[in-house]
Amino acid sequence: MLFSFGPGPQGPYDPRDPFPQFKVEEMDFSKFHRFLRLGLLGLALIILWSGLNWAQGFYTDWLWYSSLDHQSVLWKVVTTKVWLYVGAVLVFLALAVPNLVAVVRITGRMFPRGGHKLPPGIYDSARSVLIWLAGGVVALGAFMLASGPAGEWNVVLRYLHQVPFGEADPIFNNDYSFYIFSLPALEFFRSWLVGLTVLVAIIVAAFYYMNSILRGEAFAFRGPILSHLAVLGAFLFVLIAAGHWLSRYDLLYSTMGAVYGVGYTDNLFNLPSRAFMAVVALVAAGALLAAAKTGRKELAVWSVGAWFGLNIVLGSLVPGLIQRLVVEPSELARETTYLANNISHTRQAFGLEGLRSMSHPALGEVDHATVEANQGTIQNIRLWDEGPLMQSYNQIQFFRLYYDFLAVHTDRYTVNGELRQVMLATRELSAEKLPTEAQRWVNRHLQFTHGYGVAMSPVTEVQSGGRPDFFVRDLPPTGEIPLDRPELYYGLKSLDYVIVNSRMQEFNFPGPDGPVYTHYEGDGGVQLGSFFRRLMYAWQFKDVNILISGEVTPESRIQYRRTVPERFTTVTPFLLRDREAYSVVADGRLYWIQDAYTTTNRYPYSTPWERRFNYIRNSVKAVVDAYHGTLTYYVFDESDPLISTYQAMFPDLFKPQSEMPEHLRAHVRYPQDLFTVQTQMLLQYHMEDPVVFYNKEDQWSVPMQHSFGQTEILRPYYIVARLPGEEKEEFLLIQPFTPINRHNLVGWMAARSDGENYGDMILFRFPTGRHVDGPSQVEARIDNDAVISEQFTLWGQVGSEVFRGILLVIPIGDSILYAEPVFLRPETIDFPELRRIILADSRQVVMHQTLDASISALVGDLPPVAPVVETVEDEDAPRPLIQLPDFNQGLRDAVDKLQEVVDQLRRLMQ
């Protein structure tokens, strides 16, 4: 123990004295110095170990980025972080060190040597410890707080390379780039300096306080102590004044009134009041400096108190009263101008300003002429849903337990000269499904290295028995679309790492005579050409086998970060990726296309989407080669200032759209996530008149639909169809709309994907005087059809579950067609089969086994509903759709009776 309380030189301990005298029992500062040296040694070892880990991570990252030829991105990011870190350390030290030196000198003058109550030498040693402790806190603060600016490298680089928007806001008349690039950087560094100043003030005040304790004196804000802290307070209030001034611009994101952005109260009062508060903060800073010079403590107290009180009154109370007493009684009249600003800027921020609006007659009947004129649309009606198709693939196309189909993607291909909509899924390797005894390091990292091939099905064709037909199938892949390089080293699923091109042969696919093996011939991964590289990767993955395995050669390559989302996010964390990268079979190879977005939440006057961002552009398409792993970024929206800024930041990263190969350009599609955001914003922002918008007279909603036993919103979906007024079919992404709290349709929106029309959006509005059934109403018509309901009931009684898929609303010429698949799934296995296709127009609902039969029924050439039995072409007798057991004679009799009822109902309907 260094100190204990007891009688001092001037008498016994007085409990009323807040600073009791010290009695020195023993004071061995050599032990403290040894402890300090050990602590410093431990800190040095920690810093050394952290530095080695950082160096190892940087080295392996450099190798990985270099394998993609994107090392310039890593270098730019790392060097920016380093310079920001060093600069932040220097700024902190420039602020903290002079103040620390000042406090040491001030305490030395205030309490000269020998002017204390401790024995000789003790006070000097204790004060030396206090100085070292304060210096350590300053060093630790510099070390920790400098990581803040380093983490904001993206903000700094965007500020330094910003590209102007060429448009100004209606309030301050500043270019949008100021709010998106400059303002975030200014606000961050101001708030960071506030944090530094507060920390330095705390260190200084703590030093004064501890020094007073060591002397046994009462601590008080007076003399040099008051002057020093008042100067720091003045600097803090200068930063606060800057914050008030910058907060004026934040009113463009205000939510106070009826509009997002500057409203009536903001413009009338909040703008001038925040400028006034900046002046008040500067006056408070001047008062603190005056207090420092004169020593009058009341100046500091009154200035800080006045600022605090005015901040509450002018920042909350008065604006609330104005909003309640002045604005709300006549809100529409006062907010109309600001509503118009919000509508215009929101539509522009979400890419809705170029939306074309057209009328659609929405005729109710689909007749022979409509069908004949739209054969391309009819023959591409999507029957399969992603969920049932993926379950079917995992039953009939997986071939081995260690293969999985993880996601089904929608695309279009030209097959035999015709544009066909297809669904496809990649056959991914799931090495964790190998038998337990096969879960060896060699198997998981050297031999089972990749998936193989795809399954691809046309959306309109069904085999006998309700199974999907195929354009590409089996191992090795065969079908209508050539696939010469089916190996899938980069996809949606992977292990931590694999090592290819080792002495161990890699499993390729299961052949008829046993496993077929291969050796990797691509360029993907980092070559393990030296012992040092193997050591670094053994360190990174904490796996000594990388270092000692005799199967690894200098020609071997280690592949990691092999999933498409992981590769994309690692290289470009500043871009927002679409939730789904989709696979493409092109030029005999497998590719992945990942849509990417530039976003910000700083676009002036624009309402945010789900509080995440208020500006979005699909400016980038990233392509990953599934065999080589190359990652290429193509710019698809050169008018976007955000992507132009990123191009200035990373000039070697992006390529123009024109350099994308044509075989990939043919498979570019309008992204579903972007379209979802745009359609949800359009639910309100299709109303461009401020009065209509304020009154919500024509607010829309997204239809609800019932599929697979669940009720959910009808998400946008891809179709191949011919738009009204166009000459040929094209690949479209569409979304129907209903009025809010109603079920009838009021219109639909389409985004185009093909050729020069890519990105065009058209809104088709239905006539206001005509009722058009929405999905929920069509579902109700299906439920109310006695014959269809009876068939569903029958199927449910013989061990199968009936699932109705997504009901699609398909524009066909000037009419609207509704299509819904019906699946049967055994209760014991996830193996759905497509058994019926339901079609509907405004007149009737029909259901048959095939699409052609359902079309024929819809135009009156066949009965509305197919019989319970289906005729097999190569047999003379009808065969029941549901084969009943021979021992259940009673159930077969019930089926016969039900068939008689169905025939009677059909005759009555005819």
Over the stretch 359-409, which tens digit does the pLDDT of each residue have? 999 887 899 999 999 998 998 999 998 989 999 999 888 888 888 999 999
- Looking at the predicted structure, is the pLDDT value of residue 876 above 80? no
Please report which residue ranges of 356-436 form alpha helices under DSSP H. 368-373, 375-378, 386-396
Half-sphere exposure of 267 (CA within 13 A, CB side): 15
- Looking at the predicted structure, is the pLDDT value of residue 2 above 50? no
Q: What is the pLDDT of residues 421-474, one digit of tens each?
A: 999 999 999 888 888 878 899 999 999 999 999 999 999 888 877 899 999 999
Strand partners, 404: 428
Q: Which residues contact 588 (CB under 8 A, 6 or more apart)?
A: 482, 483, 484, 485
Q: CA–CA separation, 676 vs 512, rounded Å?
A: 46
Q: Which of 593, 597, 525 is nearest to 560 (CA)?
A: 525
DSSP string, 502-526: SSSPEEEEEETTEEEEE---S--SE
- Quick check: bond before 864 cis, omega within 30? no
- Looking at the predicted structure, is the pLDDT value of residue 890 above 60? no
Q: CA–CA separation, 565 vs 583, rounded Å?
A: 13
Q: Which residues contact 829 (CB under 8 A, 6 or more apart)?
A: 395
Task: Find the length of the chain.
Answer: 910
Q: Which of 734, 788, 721, 799 is nearest to 760 (CA)?
A: 734
Confidence at residue 718, expressed as pLDDT on a 0 to 100 scale: 95
> For all residues of the chain together, what is the average pLDDT?
87
Q: CA–CA separation, 589 vs 627, rounded Å?
A: 8
User: Where does the pLDDT of residue 73 fall: very low under 50, low under 70, confident under 90, or very high at 90 and above?
Assistant: very high
User: Where does the pLDDT of residue 640 fall: very low under 50, low under 70, confident under 90, or very high at 90 and above?
Assistant: very high
Confidence at residue 406, expressed as pLDDT on a 0 to 100 scale: 92
Task: Tell me phi and psi for residue 289, to 5 degrees.
Answer: -65, -40
User: Where does the pLDDT of residue 344 fall: very low under 50, low under 70, confident under 90, or very high at 90 and above?
Assistant: very high
Task: Give CA separation, 591 vs 484, 581, 674, in Å.
Answer: 13, 10, 22
- Nearest 5°: CA angle at 263, between 259 and 266? 140
- Looking at the predicted structure, is the pLDDT value of residue 899 above 90? no
Asked whether 759 and 741 are in contact (CB, 8 A), the reply is no
Half-sphere exposure of 549 (CA within 13 A, CB side): 21
**Pairing of β 845-848 and β 833-840:** antiparallel
Q: What is the mean pLDDT of residues 323-328?
A: 94
Confidence at residue 888, expressed as pLDDT on a 0 to 100 scale: 43
Give the pair of three-digit tokens for residue 39: 């602590």
Confidence at residue 433, expressed as pLDDT on a 0 to 100 scale: 85
CA 154 to chain centre: 17
- Looking at the predicted structure, is the pLDDT value of residue 623 above 90? yes
Confidence at residue 31, expressed as pLDDT on a 0 to 100 scale: 62
Q: What is the mean pLDDT of residues 292-297?
A: 83
- Residue 213, judged by CB atoms within 10 A of its CB (0-12, 13-18, 19+), counts as middle
Q: CA–CA separation, 668 vs 656, rounded Å?
A: 14
Handedness of CA 606, 608, 612, 614 (dihedral sign): negative
- Looking at the predicted structure, is the pLDDT value of residue 584 above 80? yes
DSSP state of 818: E
Q: Which residues contact 692 (CB under 8 A, 6 or more apart)?
A: 698
Asked whether 708 and 715 are in contact (CB, 8 A), the reply is no
Q: CA–CA separation, 334 vs 312, rounded Å?
A: 25
Using alpha carbons only, how large is the chain's radius of gyration in Å? 37
Q: Which residues contact 272 (CB under 8 A, 6 or more apart)?
A: none
Q: Which residues contact 822 (CB under 8 A, 6 or more apart)?
A: 792, 802, 803, 804, 805, 834, 835, 836, 837, 838, 847
Asked whether 687 and 699 are in contact (CB, 8 A), the reply is yes
DSSP string, 435-479: -GGG--HHIIIIIS--EE-EEEEETT-B-TTSPBP-SEETTTTEE
Give the pair of three-digit tokens for residue 538: 């053994």
Q: CA–CA separation, 391 vs 796, rounded Å?
A: 20
Residue 274, Cβ neighbours under 10 Å: how many?
A: 21
User: What percentage of the chain exceeds 90 in pLDDT?
Assistant: 65
User: What percentage of the chain exceeds 70 in pLDDT?
Assistant: 89
- Looking at the predicted structure, is the pLDDT value of residue 16 above 50? no
- Looking at the predicted structure, is the pLDDT value of residue 114 above 70? no
Half-sphere exposure of 642 (CA within 13 A, CB side): 24
Q: What is the pLDDT of residues 431-445, one digit of tens each?
A: 888 888 788 999 999
| pTM of this structure | 0.88
| Lowest mean per-residue pLDDT among 34-48, 116-130, 394-408, 716-730 | 116-130
- Residue 634, judged by CB atoms within 10 A of its CB (0-12, 13-18, 19+), counts as buried
Q: CA–CA separation, 188 vs 184, rounded Å?
A: 6
- Looking at the predicted structure, is the pLDDT value of residue 244 above 50? yes
Q: Which of 356, 368, 274 is nearest to 855 (CA)?
A: 368
Strand partners, 837: 821, 848
Q: CA–CA separation, 657 vs 318, rounded Å?
A: 53
- Looking at the predicted structure, is the pLDDT value of residue 871 above 70? no
Handedness of CA 387, 390, 395, 400 (dihedral sign): negative
Q: CA–CA separation, 60 vs 641, rounded Å?
A: 33
Q: CA–CA separation, 628 vs 436, rounded Å?
A: 30
Question: Does residue 323 or residue 464 have the better pLDDT?
Answer: 323
611: left (phi over 0), alpha (psi -120 to 50) or beta: left
Q: Which of 481, 423, 409 is nearest to 456 (CA)?
A: 423
Residue 197, Cβ neighbours under 10 Å: how many?
A: 21
- Residue 407, judged by CB atoms within 10 A of its CB (0-12, 13-18, 19+), counts as middle
Q: What is the mean pLDDT of residues 830-851?
A: 90
Residue 652, Cβ neighbours under 10 Å: how many?
A: 12
